[in-house]
Structure formats: C-alpha cells, structure tokens
Amino acid sequence: MASKVLMKGNEAIAEGALLAGCRHYFGYPITPQTEIAAYMAKKMPKLGGTFLQAESEVAAINMVIGASAAGRRAMTSSSSPGFALKSEGLSYLAGCDLPAVVVNIQRGGPGLGGIQPSQADYYHATKSAGHGDFRMLVLAPNSVQEMLDYAFEAFELADKYRITAMLLSDGTLGQMMEPVDTATKVPGPSIDKPWALTGTGEQRPPNLVNSLYLTPEELEGTVFVRYDRYKVIEEKETRYEEYLTDDADIVVVAYGAASRIAQNAIDAARRDGLKTGLLRPITLWPFPKKPLFRLAQKATAFVAAELSMGQMAEDVELAVRCQRPVFLCRRTGGVMITPEEVLQKIREAALGQDPAA
Amino acid sequence: MSAETKRILLAGFGGQGILFAGKFLASLGLSQEREVSWLPSYGPEMRGGTANCSVIISRERIGSPIVSAPNILVCMNGPSLEKFEPAMEGGGVLFYDSSLINRQAVRDDISVFGIPATQMATDHQMAALANVVLLGKLLRETGLCDEGTAGQVMQDIVPGRKQDLLEANIRALALGFRYEAAV
Amino acid sequence: MTIVFDKTKALTEAAMHYCPGCTHGIIHRLVAEALDELGLLGRAIGVAPVGCAVFAYNYFNCDMVQAAHGRAPAVATGLKRARPECMVFTYQGDGDLAAIGTAETIHAAMRGENITVIFVNNAIYGMTGGQMAPTTLLGQVTQTTPYGRDKALAGSPLRVSEMLGTVDGAAYVERVAVDSVKNVRGAKRAILKAFKTQAAGQGFSLVEVISSCPTNWGLEPPAALEWLREHMLPVYPLGVYRDKIGDEVAA
C-alpha cells in the first residue's frame, strides 16, 4: 500500500482519463464535479493537451464530438442538470458511432434540485440519454480506486465499440478521498480509426461523420447494425461484483455509493443470522440480468437499495422476471440511505412479506 | 468492522481546518497501511458555513464512508456538539474546543476531553491552528500515533514550499500532545 | 484542345439539391475554389450545419462532419483543437448561426478559435419552409410572420458581422454578397482571405455572405437578387468589420 496516494474521487477520474491517453477535455463548471475540470486545467497544458472551459454544457459535448470525430480520445464531465443539456450531443455521438467518455457525478433533482449525492439519473443514463434508439455503456464505480480504473477502462471500451461510455457516479464518491494506486494502468494497443477526420491529404476518399439518413430503411439499417454491436457488449462486457451471495436467501442489489452502505447492512444482517448477500452491478447498461436470474433460483427475495425512487429496482424486477419479490429501499433528493434502513428492508424481505403490502 | 475500526467525525465552522484535520488522519491511516476513507460535507458556502468530515481507519474493507455513530468525535463549535454528541457510540472519545464551546458534554458513557485549543493557539501566535492542537491531543489520547510519526505525516501533507506553515503545524501538534487539563 | 476552365476538384460530382436560382451553389463553389487554389484541400475538414446546407457533406471533396443545429462552431472547435494542422471550416445559415447557435458562434470568436465560418444570410429559414430568421427584415412576410416582421413582437434584424466586429478574439470579419459578378468576385477574395487567416494561425475568421432565397421569398431568381440589393444591403452593408491583420496574410 506504500505506493498508494490519497485522492478525491473526482481527481481519480481525471487521472484515470489522463492515463488512458485522453488529451482533450471540454467542460462547464457545476457542483459537485468541478474538481475534474480543475484537475484537467492544471494537468493538460503540461501534457500538451486541451482543457477548454466551454460556454455551455451543450457546447462542451459538441466539442467532444469534434475531437472524437478527429480520432482523439475526448471527454466531458458534468452533474445531473448539465446532463439534461448534453442529451442532444449524446444522441449525435450515438448516431455518428463516435467513441466518447462522459462523466455524470449525480446530484438531486428534478429541476435545479440540490447539490447532495443522488442516483436519480439512472433512467437518463441507462434508458433515455437522448432522442432516438441508442444505448450508452454505463459504468458505476463504488470506490475512489474504481473511479480511476473505470475512467481508464471507459476509454478502452468506447474505442473498441465506437460507443459513448458513461461513468455514472455521485457526489459522495466524487468528493471522498481514498487511497489509490495509479501505477498499474497502461493503455492497450491503440485501436485503428480509419473513419476519423484527419484531412484526406488528397490521398483517400473523404471520410464523413454523420447521423442523417432521410430514407427510413437506411436509417433503420444503421440502428440495426448498432444494436448488433450492443448485443456483443451485453454478452462480453456485463460487469458485476458479488459479495456473500453463495448461500444468500436475501440478495441486496445496489450500485455506487449505495452499495457501500448496503455492505454495512449485509454485514449486520449476517451477524443477526440472516443469510444475505450483495450483487453490485458495475455496468448499469448492460445490466447484469443473467447473474440476477441465476441468484433468483436460490434466493427467496431481493432488496433494491438506491438513491432514487425505484429506477434501478425496475431492472431488478425485469432481471428476476418477477419470480421473486423485490423490496425497495430508497431515499432521494440528496438524502443518503442508511445501513439501518437497508437492514430493515432485509428483515422485511426475510419475513416473506409482500413488498407491495 | 472490528472494534479497532476508528470511525471519526470532525465538525465545526468552515475555515476552521476541519477537512485538513480529517486529511491528516486519513494520511496517517494510509501510512500505517490501513484502509481509509475521507468524506467531507460539501455545500455552496466556501467559508463560514458548517463543515464536517467523516474519516474511517480500518484493517478491513470499508463499506459506507459515512460516519453516523462516531467512536471518535471532534467538535469545534457549539452546534456540532449539540448535533453529534447524542449520536456517538458508547465508549467513544470526544474532543472539543473548550474556548469556543462553553458547556460540558452530557453523556457519561464516553470519555471527554475539553481543550481550550483556540486560546492555546492564539497564545502562541498561531490562531488558525486550533484544529491541529486538538489533533495532537486526539492522537495522544487515542494512541493512534506518537509525536514523531505525527510530525512525519504532517510533512507529507503540508506542501514543501510552505515550510513556515509546516513548522507552525508541528508546534501546534506538540501543544496538543503535551496538554494536560487542569481538572 | 486546351482546357481554359474546369470545375474545381474540391467539389464532388454530386448534383446539388438546391432550388433553382439559389445562391448556395455559388458559395459552395467559392469555398471549394479557395481551398483548392490555396492548396489546402487535403488538410480541410468541413462542418455541415442543419438547414438547407445540411447536405454540404455530399458536395465538398474533403473530410466532413454533420453537426447538430447551431453547434457547428463547437464541433469545429473540437476538431481544430484535436487537429491543429487541419483547416477547419463551418458552413452555416442564419437560423443555425444567429439563432440556435448564437452562443457557439460568439464564444468561438471570443476564444479566437482558429477556424473559418462561412455564414450564409438569406433572411429566412429555408429548409423548414420559410420561417422568420433573426436576420429577417422588418416588414418581411414569412410563414411565421404572416403580417410582416413586427418589431414590437419579433424584434429587429440581428447584424452578426457588426456584433462580431466588437469581439477581440475575431481576426477577420467581412460581409459580402453574391448578387452580381463584381460582388461574387469580392466574396471569393474574402473567402480566400479567411482561409489565409486560419492558415497563418491568426484566429477566428467569418465571412457573412448575403444570399437570396427565391423559393421562400416567392420571387423569380433575378427579382430575388434585385430584392436583395434593394432591401437587404441597406440593412446589411457590405464591408470589413474586423481585420486584425490587414493585408499581411492576404498578400
């Protein structure tokens, strides 16, 4: 552990991006993610990269589109209200099959909401990031080390699948400090981008980055091809962590900061003799449906613990195909769930009550 | 988590160095090869509002980084003592700045150390370092580390270009380490 | 046989979709010729807007990206920061640049972003069928100003070149027109100068081209050009609004 340093989650994200070779950051200040911009503003000039404070969230995501279209690793970061504004660009990124990394350090909503931690952008991130049929690959770290690791990984995945990878986190993880090992990250072999706009040099036909198709069948065709790729991502890139699930009667499902709180509750439940485990989705899309369905064959009930009103719980119900009751432990608006609240739900679940009752 | 796990809450006004004291403790834990987490409250006010900071030092993987029932509590203003003393774990240790808080602790199942930290720091021309005076006392009473180790950790977290500041911090630590209450 | 004139290689073979009498075709050709003549075609990356020129990517024989409505200067910023060696230009209409993309335009100029903006001002939204633009003249009838643009309801025409003339980051801003042979030649000279400005690393350049829209103005092409001269030029005087570098790079 001697090689570890204390870092804030937001700084770890920025460091992970730099380790991945990202040299183009475009952003707009918003609490609680501004440390990412500040870190980039400090580091980028020394690395010969671009840090640009854009005139708006909309401009920032469109600058990412430009830099990505030029074949570079580019990113932006924001917090919830900012991502509503970035929706336009997220859709264009998908329509143009451009790789990009975006970071949402969530705060409470709707509207201007608050600035305290939240997970209420789950729908936006996993189902409805913008207009049209498309997906983002959504990664949800739960420690400062993972903020760095998955920021790094997000660039590799984005390039590999020509998709937007979103790091979906919250103010707790963004603001907290934990020891981080930065030494282990080396980018994989660089991925060829023959589609990139580099100037033709009058040596090759022009490249075009575009999302406009006026013929419905042609447009549908591009969406079909993209969804074939999404299928591969679902098969190969679904990530999750299990904690004490081997003999679990009750399985808690929680991601990000909520999963850390759930861990305390699970430890407490075990001390009470309740066989409880945790399935922590690391990718929120693709959601770990198969492992949840597998667990549903043994477990008697599930508890979804989240900092939103049941947005993730719906995916748990779909994953277990409603074969087991799913209890919901929820707080929102910047209020954290407590281990006691999760433990209470675990007890209710163990009693076999109807969650709707 | 084992009983050995330190669940520390530091609270006071913004600008009193609450977050810095927390960072010191997290760095100490890291230097001792423990698992650590440091979580600040954050708000729109940069100065003068309430600030608090959760620090956990453990031999085991840390779950929630939020300290709601501290076994070590540091209070640098009255409202913090009002709010957090009742939440303390039985057997915990409370440190408070008795030059800023003019009431006694009410719990009798905890150890209490009132230190006139702001007065002491002011008397030694380092009024801004009451937080570090408290820290010194905390380190000694909890046995988290000795004075020499504390000095080394301070050296790690105070930027090298601020040598004056480092020396003042080390003197403030010493004041805390050596303070004996006139009970 | 000697070839005395040829189409520039900077335009593709695609037949343009523009309406008869539309001046977009002329402006495309001027941009393409400028890139070709300056030997910049192989380094060029164009940004197509939303609006009539959305298909510009089919016509310019260089790398192209199609941007969201109004975002072309932001996309161009990302491109230029990522590939400073490339010549990055946007081609935008008045709705795209002066309404939904006003912020992106002004801030690209403010930063002195080293890109070139070709701004086609025909005082109307063409692609969507003739609605009011920010540059629509007072009294001008459009689909959304059926009784003529009323200052009390819809404000007055926005003068982009004058506005950008006050922005320190802008290196070169000129307004030209394509209503006559003389003015077309002037437009060509301005577009050449804009690209030279970028090639010399001098910063933001914008050429506003006063253009006609016979279809949505409801006029025959010659009458549209006459209307342009009579009604638009008094509101949008031709001329140089910012020139930080004088003839230095233009030489």
Of the candidates A32, A336, A339, the beta carbon closest to that of B42 is on A32
Which pair of tokens denotes residue C125? Answer: 């939204």
Instruction: Supply angle C-alpha B131, B136, B142, rounded to 5.
Output: 115
* CB-CB under 8 Å, C77 with A66: yes
**How many C-beta neighbours within 10 Å does residue A200 have?**
18
**Domain locations along chain A:** 5-237, 240-350
Q: Which helix (H) or strand (E) holds C160?
A: helix C160-164
Residue closest to A105 by CA, chosen among A286, A334, A282: A334
- DSSP secondary-structure letter at C70? T
Which pair of tokens denotes residue C134? Answer: 């920010």
Is pLDDT larger for residue A206 or for residue C251? A206
Confidence of residue B47 (pLDDT cuts 50, 70, 90): low
Distance between B26 CA and the closest CA of chain A, angstroms: 8
Q: Are the CB atoms for C142 and C152 separated by under 8 Å?
A: no
**How many C-beta neighbours within 10 Å does residue A289 have?**
17
Those residues with Cβ within 8 angstroms of residue A334's Cβ, 6 or more apart along the chain or in another chain: A107, A108, A113, A114, A115, A116, A117, A118, A171
Per-residue model confidence (pLDDT) at position B2: 46
**How many C-beta neighbours within 10 Å does residue B63 have?**
24
Least confident of A11-25, A177-191, B118-132, C29-43: A177-191
* CB-CB under 8 Å, A4 with B42: no
Distance between C47 CA and the closest CA of chain A, angstroms: 9
Which pair of tokens denotes residue C111? Answer: 């930063």
| Cα–Cα dist A299/A275, whole Å | 9
* CB-CB under 8 Å, A175 with B66: no
* CB-CB under 8 Å, B63 with A178: no
Map residue A48 onto helix, strand or coil.
coil
> Over the stretch C98-114, which tens digit does the pLDDT of each residue have?
999 999 999 999 999 99
**DSSP of A201-241:** TTTSPPPEE-----SHHHHHHHHHHHHHHHHHHHHHH--EE
Residue closest to B86 by CA, chosen among B68, B65, B63, B61: B68
Least confident of A217-231, B31-45, C115-129, C189-203: B31-45
- DSSP secondary-structure letter at C90? E
| Cα–Cα dist A282/A285, whole Å | 9
* CB-CB under 8 Å, A210 with C66: yes
> Which pLDDT tens digits describe chain A residue by residue (357 residues)?
448 999 999 999 999 999 999 999 999 999 999 999 999 999 999 999 999 999 999 999 999 999 999 999 999 999 999 999 999 999 999 999 999 999 999 999 999 999 999 999 999 999 999 999 999 999 999 999 999 999 999 999 999 999 999 999 999 999 999 999 987 788 888 899 999 999 999 999 999 999 999 999 999 999 999 999 999 999 999 999 999 999 999 999 999 999 999 999 999 999 999 999 999 999 999 999 999 999 999 999 999 999 999 999 999 999 999 999 999 999 999 999 999 999 999 999 999 877 776
Distance between A142 CA and the closest CA of chain B, angstroms: 10
Map residue A119 onto helix, strand or coil.
coil
| Cα–Cα dist B9/B12, whole Å | 10
**How many C-beta neighbours within 10 Å does residue A133 have?**
14
CA of B34: which chain A residue's CA is closest? A1
pTM for the full model? 0.95
Q: Which chains touch A (3 or more CB pairs under 8 A)?
A: B, C
Contacts of A169 in chain B (CB under 8 A): none
The answer, for B62 touching chain A at a CB cutoff of 8 Å, is yes
Tell me the CATH number at C128.
3.40.50.970
On the CB side of B96, how many CA atoms lie within 13 Å of its CA? 24
The ipTM value here is: 0.95
Per-residue model confidence (pLDDT) at position C248: 54
Pairing of strands B6-13, B72-75: parallel
Residue positions counted in chain A: 357
Per-residue model confidence (pLDDT) at position B44: 56
SS3 readout for chain B: CCCCCEEEEEEEECCCCHHHHHHHHHHHHHHCCCEEEEEECCCCCCCCCEEEEEEEEECCCCCCCCCCCCCEEEECCHHHHHHHHHHCCCCCEEEEECCCCCCCCCCCCCEEEEECHHHHHHHCCCHHHHHHHHHHHHHHHHCCCCHHHHHHHHHHHCCCCCHHHHHHHHHHHHHHHHCCCCC
Domain that holds residue C93: 24-243
Give residue for tokens 């040829």: C6
Distance between A286 CA and the closest CA of chain B, angstroms: 25
Residue closest to A337 by CA, chosen among A262, A270, A268: A262
| Cα–Cα dist B157/B18, whole Å | 14
Q: Do chains B and C touch (3 or more CB pairs under 8 A)?
A: no
**CATH ID of B6-178, from 3.40.50.300, 3.40.50.2300, 3.40.47.40, 3.40.920.10:** 3.40.920.10
Per-residue model confidence (pLDDT) at position C250: 46
Contacts of A65 in chain C (CB under 8 A): 65, 67, 71, 74-75, 78
Those residues with Cβ within 8 angstroms of residue C39's Cβ, 6 or more apart along the chain or in another chain: none
Per-residue model confidence (pLDDT) at position B3: 55
| Cα–Cα dist A88/A138, whole Å | 17
Per-residue model confidence (pLDDT) at position B84: 95
CA of A340: which chain B residue's CA is closest? B68
* CB-CB under 8 Å, C78 with A69: yes
Per-residue model confidence (pLDDT) at position B88: 98
| Cα–Cα dist A296/A325, whole Å | 10
The answer, for B50 touching chain A at a CB cutoff of 8 Å, is no
Superfamily of the domain at A5-237: Thiamin diphosphate (ThDP)-binding fold, Pyr/PP domains (3.40.50.970)
Contacts of A54 in chain C (CB under 8 A): 74, 107
Which pair of tokens denotes residue A119? Answer: 């997970």
Confidence of residue B1 (pLDDT cuts 50, 70, 90): very low
* CB-CB under 8 Å, B65 with A175: no
A341 burial type by CB count under 10 A (0-12 exposed, 13-18 middle, 19+ buried):
middle
* CB-CB under 8 Å, A338 with B36: no
Return the amino acid letter for C248.
E
* CB-CB under 8 Å, A50 with C74: no
- DSSP secondary-structure letter at C131? B
**How many C-beta neighbours within 10 Å does residue C219 have?**
17
Which pair of tokens denotes residue B121? Answer: 């720091």
Of the candidates A55, A66, A92, the beta carbon closest to that of C78 is on A66
Report the number of distinct structural domains present in chain C.
1
| Cα–Cα dist A64/A44, whole Å | 15
* CB-CB under 8 Å, A179 with B42: no
- DSSP secondary-structure letter at C145? B
> Over the stretch B142-175, which tens digit does the pLDDT of each residue have?
999 999 999 999 999 998 888 889 999 999 999 9
Which residue, among B64, B67, B157, B158, would best test binding to A if mutated, counting the most A CBs under 10 Å from its CB? Answer: B64
Contacts of B61 in chain A (CB under 8 A): 263
Contacts of A203 in chain C (CB under 8 A): 42
Q: Which helix (H) or strand (E) holds C119?
A: strand C116-121
Return the amino acid letter for A236.
K
| Cα–Cα dist C126/C95, whole Å | 9
In a domain, C191, yes or no: yes
Which residue, among A25, A62, A195, would best test binding to C if mutated, counting the most C CBs under 10 Å from its CB? Answer: A62
Of the candidates B1, B30, B44, the beta carbon closest to that of A179 is on B30
Per-residue model confidence (pLDDT) at position A1: 42
Return the sign of the alpha-carbon dihedral for residues B117, B121, B126, B127.
positive
Contacts of A130 in chain C (CB under 8 A): none
**How many C-beta neighbours within 10 Å does residue B173 have?**
24
In a domain, C36, yes or no: yes
Contacts of B52 in chain A (CB under 8 A): none
* CB-CB under 8 Å, C61 with A197: no
Q: Which helix (H) or strand (E) holds A250?
A: strand A250-253
Residue closest to A120 by CA, chosen among A289, A290, A272, A307: A307
Residue closest to C135 by CA, chosen among C231, C204, C214: C231
* A contact residues 324-343, partner C, Cβ 8 Å cutoff: none
Distance between A180 CA and the closest CA of chain C, angstroms: 30
The answer, for A1 touching chain C at a CB cutoff of 8 Å, is no
Chain A residues in contact with chain B using a Cβ-Cβ cutoff of 8 Å: 1-2, 4, 6, 31-32, 115, 171-172, 175-179, 257, 260-264, 267, 336, 338-339
Contacts of A261 in chain B (CB under 8 A): 63-64, 66
Per-residue model confidence (pLDDT) at position C251: 43
Residue closest to A278 by CA, chosen among A250, A311, A306: A250
Is the backbone peptide bond immediately before B40 cis, with ω within 30 degrees of 0? no
| Cα–Cα dist B37/A259, whole Å | 15
The answer, for C59 touching chain A at a CB cutoff of 8 Å, is no
Per-residue model confidence (pLDDT) at position A182: 85
Look at the domain A240-350 and name its fold.
Rossmann fold (3.40.50)
| Cα–Cα dist A107/A105, whole Å | 7
Map residue A325 onto helix, strand or coil.
coil
Which residue, among B59, B66, B67, would best test binding to A if mutated, counting the most A CBs under 10 Å from its CB? Answer: B66
* CB-CB under 8 Å, A207 with C63: yes
**How many C-beta neighbours within 10 Å does residue C16 have?**
16
Which pair of tokens denotes residue A324? Answer: 């087991």
Residue closest to A145 by CA, chosen among A294, A329, A328, A11: A11
Give residue for tokens 């850390």: A260
Per-residue model confidence (pLDDT) at position A353: 78
Distance between C42 CA and the closest CA of chain A, angstroms: 4
Residue B181 pLDDT > 80: no
Distance between A325 CA and the closest CA of chain C, angstroms: 45
CA of A30: which chain B residue's CA is closest? B44
Residue closest to A36 by CA, chosen among A141, A155, A148, A183: A148
Please list, residue by residue across A221-234, b when 16 or more beta carbons sit within 10 angstroms of its beta carbon and e when fewer do. Answer: eeeeebeeebeebb
